[in-house]
Structures are given as C-alpha cells and as structure tokens.
Amino acid sequence: MSLNVGVIGVGMIGQDHIRRLTHVLSGARVAAVTDVDLDRARAVADDLPGVTVHGSGEDLIADPAVDAVVVTSWGPTHEAYVLACIAAGKQVFCEKPLATTREACDRIVDAEVAAGRRLVMVGFMRRYDPQYRAMKEIVTSGEIGAPLLMHAAHRNPSVPDFFTSDMTINDSTVHDIDVARWMFDDELAAVTVLKGRVSRKAKAGFHDPLLVVLQMAGGVLVDVEAMVNAGFGYDIRGEVVCEDGTVELSESAGAVVKSAGRYAGRVPANWRERFVGAFDTEFQAWIDAVTAGGTTGPSAWDGYATTVGCETGLAALRSGQREPIVLRERPDLYKPEAGA
C-alpha cells in the first residue's frame, strides 16, 4: 500500500521532490498538490495521474485522502502549514527552514510537545550524504581521538540577483550549522562572522566571502568559509581534526584522472548534483518511517536550534562580535533517550 502524500508549494524543490516521489522512490505516491500560484499547481498535476489540486495548503492538509504532507513553499509560510499538520495529526516533511524566526519555531516545538509525539521531519539532507555519514561514523567511533576542530567550505558557483549577505547565512550556512550540531552531537554556544576582502564578483554592498566561526558547547571550533560567487562550481568541503588524526570529505565528485603531470576530477555544477543521492535517501527514510507509523531524522528541535543559530549569525554579521547562542531547554520529546 502506498503512502498518499500531499505537496504544498510546487516551485523548484517541490517539483524535484514530486519527481523523486513519483519516479525514484518506493512506497509513496503524490495524491494532492497546491501552490499559491494555482496555475502552476494545475500544470504540475497535469503530468501526474489521479492528483487532486487544492485551493490552499489548509484544504490539502484537511483532505482525508492525504496521509502525510510535504511542505516546500516559501520559508515564511512553513510555520502555518506545519502547525496545521500537527493539529491534524499528520506527519509532515518540511524543507528547511522549519520556520524563519525563533518564536515561530518555538510555537511548532510547543505544539508537537503538546501532541506528545514527533510528527515533524526537517529537510537537512546532508545528514544522508554517504561522505558526511562516513565522516560522522569515524568521529563518533573515537578511533582518531576526540574532535577538536572542523574546517568547512560552502562555495556556490553563483547566486541570483536577489541574494543578500543575510541569505548567505540563512540559505547556505544553515546547512553547515546543522552539520556541526549533528557531527558532534552538541549544541552551538556562540557564533562570530568575519568579513574580509570582498570578491570583485560580489554585487555592491554584498560581503562575499564570509568566514563564520561556530563554537560548540563542548568547545569544538568550526570554521565555515561561505562564498556564493565561486564561479568554478559547487564545492563543499569538510575536514574534522581530532587528537590522533583527521577525516575529510572526498575532494572529487567522480573519478580522478592523472595525466601529463597533473590530476583532475569533477566539481559538481550545483547543489542538486552534489546532493541528489542524499535527497533520495532522506526521502526514502521519511516514507519508510511514516509508513511504519512514526517519523525519523532531523526534528523540530533541530529546526529550532538551527534557526536560532542563523538568527544569532545575522546578529554577529552586523555586530562583528562573538554572539552567544541561547537556546530554550530541550523538551524530553527531543532527548536521545526518547529516540530523537
């Protein structure tokens, strides 16, 4: 029996998730779609047999033929849809961010805690990337000693004109913040954002690159080079330095060619190419967990902590100072012993 999924927001990533639900993964089918642009929703539904187009996200969530919901609309709309799913007792996969403010994430955490069970998974797909998973396995095993530092780079080839330095934190570094919390099973304690020499490719008033320094509660330091005008490709780097060794992500996305005294490999063109497998694994994990009656993966707490990290990162970008990160107490629902 297939899980009937409703998709709210059929823009770029909504359509990509519909493609994977329909053609790549097993155990689910798209049963309903909606979008603020109903013509777009109808156009997407035209290619899918037996799909209902709803006039609003709220109608889609209330549809008894929809078992579970995917929220891929614009970030500021996520809170209302996730809250409506919790109220309806329906499992929801919400693309990052869970919500765009600390207060909105608080309301979601409160609602889920009141419901007494996890209903929310947040789309931090790097946790499903085989390279990051291998890195975490080695760090967690302790075989190369305790972790001390992580060096990371998040280089986008280019960004659209509407992109701002704030979005470098909210849309790019958000993934590095999630990786740091997950990699070290620890919360962030503080963030500093350094602005240096600006790339000639950055538009006026845009600080590119940024150097974001995260301090974990346990003392590990994570430096993230966040650059969105790299030009040459989508280059994601990571190295964890431990007491007795280091572990790093592979340099190349494919085969490495050595010839004529040089070696060369492929740099992915964009985030879709780099993380396509991670998105597939992430979604299959969600389908399997929901079919089994629960959820899995990054929780509403992870969504909350990451949004607070980004908000504080923006304060650090403006102040130029080290800004402490203050989180509410973690509810029992999200403690490891609760299976979160």
**Residues lying near ligand NAP in the complex (CB under 6 A):** 8-14, 34-37, 40, 57, 72-75, 77, 95-96, 123, 125, 271
> Rounded distance, CA 44 to CA 36, Å?
13
Q: Given the complex with ligand NAP, which of 209 and 303 has the nearer CB atom? A: 303
Q: Given the complex with ligand NAP, which of 74 and 263 has the nearer CB atom? A: 74
Whether the link from the prior residue into 209 is cis, omega within 30° of 0, is yes
Q: Closest approach of Cβ 121 to ligand NAP, in Å?
A: 12
Q: Given the complex with ligand NAP, which of 51 and 242 has the nearer CB atom? A: 51
12-19 helix and 271-291 helix, angle to the nearest 10 degrees: 60
Token couple for 318: 């403006």
Residue closest to ligand NAP when measured from CB atoms: 11
Q: Closest approach of Cβ 226 to ligand NAP, in Å?
A: 14
> Rounded distance, CA 94 to CA 108, Å?
12
Q: Closest approach of Cβ 219 to ligand NAP, in Å?
A: 29
Judge contact between 69 and 5, C-beta under 8 A.
Answer: yes
Q: Given the complex with ligand NAP, which of 72 and 91 has the nearer CB atom? A: 72
Q: Closest approach of Cβ 64 to ligand NAP, in Å?
A: 20
Q: Given the complex with ligand NAP, which of 132 and 242 has the nearer CB atom? A: 132
Q: Closest approach of Cβ 172 to ligand NAP, in Å?
A: 9
Q: Closest approach of Cβ 122 to ligand NAP, in Å?
A: 9
Q: Closest approach of Cβ 5 to ligand NAP, in Å?
A: 15
Judge contact between 327 and 319, C-beta under 8 A.
Answer: no
Q: Given the complex with ligand NAP, which of 14 and 303 has the nearer CB atom? A: 14
Q: Given the complex with ligand NAP, which of 54 and 242 has the nearer CB atom? A: 54
Burial 49-60 (b: 16+ CB within 10 A, else e): eebbbbeebeeb
Q: Given the complex with ligand NAP, which of 104 and 333 has the nearer CB atom? A: 104
Judge contact between 240 and 247, C-beta under 8 A.
Answer: yes
Q: Longest Cα pair distance anywhere in the chain, in angstroms?
A: 64
Residue by residue, DSSP assigns 233-265 as --EEEEEEEETTEEEE--S-SS--EEETTEEE-
> Rounded distance, CA 305 to CA 177, Å?
9
Type of residue found at 204:
A
Q: Closest approach of Cβ 149 to ligand NAP, in Å?
A: 25
What is the H or E stretch that residue 176 is in? helix 174-183
> Rounded distance, CA 312 to CA 321, Å?
11
